[in-house]
Amino acid sequence: MPAKKKKKIAIGDIVNVQLGRTAWKARIVEDRGHFRIAGGRIYRVALLDDNLDEPMFTEVVESEITSPAR
């Protein structure tokens, strides 16, 4: 059986990111491109938390994105 091709991350995707000990659900808002220093593509994400009035944004390297959430 052929290996399942990894889905390309796209703007608007809802993903899971692991930041420290906390797993967050997040929306991809920007593809910042490949950064040699980080060893991969960097994405700007909005962390989804119903308890916050305003979204919190952060940047993650693709290896920190653990799985698509949908």
Partner 1 sequence: MPSQSLILWRTQARTAFDQIEHAHRAMGGPGPGRPYTTLHINHAYVVLLSSHFQRFCRDLHTEAIFHLWKHDTSPRRDILKFNLQLHRQLDSRNPSPSAIGADFNRFDLSFWDLVKQNAPALGARRQALLEDLNRWRNAIAHQDFSSHGLHPAGPLLRLIRQWRAACNALASRFDFVLRHHLATMTGVSPW
Is 41 a binding residue for partner 1 by CB under 8 A? The answer is no
β-strands 40-47, 56-61 pairing: antiparallel
Burial (Cβ within 10 Å: 0-12, 13-18, ≥19) of residue 45: buried
Is 23 a binding residue for partner 1 by CB under 8 A? The answer is no
Is 15 a binding residue for partner 1 by CB under 8 A? The answer is no
The CB-of-38 to partner 1 minimum distance in angstroms stands at 4
Is 46 a binding residue for partner 1 by CB under 8 A? The answer is no
Q: Which residues bind partner 1 (CB under 8 A)?
A: 19-21, 32, 35-39, 42, 44, 56-59, 61
